[in-house]
Amino acid sequence: MAETHEFHAHKLFSLEGYVCVVTGGGTGIGLMASQALAANGAKVYITGRRMEALENAAKSHHPAEGSDVKGGQIIPAGPCDVTKKDDLEKLVKEIQSKEKFIHLLMCNAGVGGPKTVPDEEDAGDLKKKLWENESVEEWNDTYKVDVTSVYFTTVAFLPLLQAAIEPNGPLPRFAPSVITTSSMSGMMRHAQGHFAYNAAKGATVHLTKLMSAEFQRAGIRVNSIAPGYFPSEMTAKSSDDKQKSELPAEKVQEKGHVPLMRGGKEEEMGMTVLYLAKCEYVNGEIIAVDGGVLNVVGGR
C-alpha cells in the first residue's frame, strides 16, 4: 500500500532517468511536451525538419540551472523528415548511439492541410468551390504526415522502447509508451473547412487504437492526446524568437464553440503529457484536451 508521502506530485510524475523522443519538438505542442518532460528530469531528444528551430528551442528552453529536479535536458536530433524511412532509420541510429533504450516516444509532427469552407447551398457551387480549391496531392501530403508517418515512426522505435523492459532494462512491461498527437478535429462531425485534416486526424485516432492493441505483445502502451486550440505555428501561423506562438483569447472566442472562451494553456498540455508518460494503467485512450469543445460540437 502507498504511504501518503508517495502521492507527492514530484514523486508521481518524476521522470528522472527517463529518455524521451519528440517529433515536431521544436515548436507548438511538441515543444510544450518537451519542456514538461525535461522540467521533470527527462532527457528529451527533439527532432524535426528545421535544425535551426530545434537548436533554438533547446537553447531557449533548457531547464534552469539550480532546479530541484536533476538530469532534465532538451537535445536537438536530426534533422528528420518523418515521412521518409531513411530519415527515421538515421534518427533511430543516432539515438541508439547514445542511449540503450528510450522510455517514451511522442509522435507529434503534423500539418494542417488545405482549407475550404463548404458554405454553398447550391450543389454545383459547392462542387466548384471544393473541387477547384483542393487537390489530391494536398490531401495525400496531409495524410502522409499526419497518419502514415505516425505509424512508421512508432514502428521504427519499437525495439528501443522494448529495450527498456526487464530483464534488459529497468522497467516493467507497459511502462514504455508512445503518445500520438491527434486532434479534437478527428472526433467531430464539423469539418471546419478542413476535410483533409479532420479526416487524417480521425485516422490517427483509430491508428492509435490499433497500435495500442497490437503492440501489447511487445509490452508497449500507445495513447493519444487530442488537443483543441493551443498556441502553435499551425493555429497562430508564426512563432517568436524562442519558437513560441500566441493565441489571443478573442480569436478563440470568435469560433463560438469553446466553453472556456480561451485557448489551452501550455501547462495544461504539459500535465496531460506527464500523466500519459507515467500512468502505466492507461492504454489505448484518446484524451481530448479541448476546453469542452466536444461537449458543444457533435462527434463523440
Active site residues: 182, 197, 201
Query: Do residues 108 and 25 make contact, with C-beta atoms less than 8 angstroms apart?
Result: yes
Cell 484536451 sits on residue:
289
Q: Is 13 exposed, middle or buried (0-12, 13-18, 19+ CB in 10 A)?
A: buried
Pairing mode, if any, of strands 19-23 and 221-227?
A: unpaired
Cell 496531392 sits on residue:
137
Residue 249: strand, helix, or coil: helix
The arrangement of strands across the sheet holding 221-227 comes to 73-77, 43-47, 19-23, 104-107, 177-181, 221-227, 286-289
Query: Do residues 179 and 276 make contact, with C-beta atoms less than 8 angstroms apart?
Result: yes
Q: How large is the angle between the packed helices 195-214 and 136-143, nearest 10 degrees?
A: 30
* Ordered DSSP codes for 101-138: --SEEEE-------------SSHHHHHHHHHHH--HHH
Largest CA distance in the chain: 68
Residue 24, all three cell numbers: 515536431
CA 213 to chain centre: 19
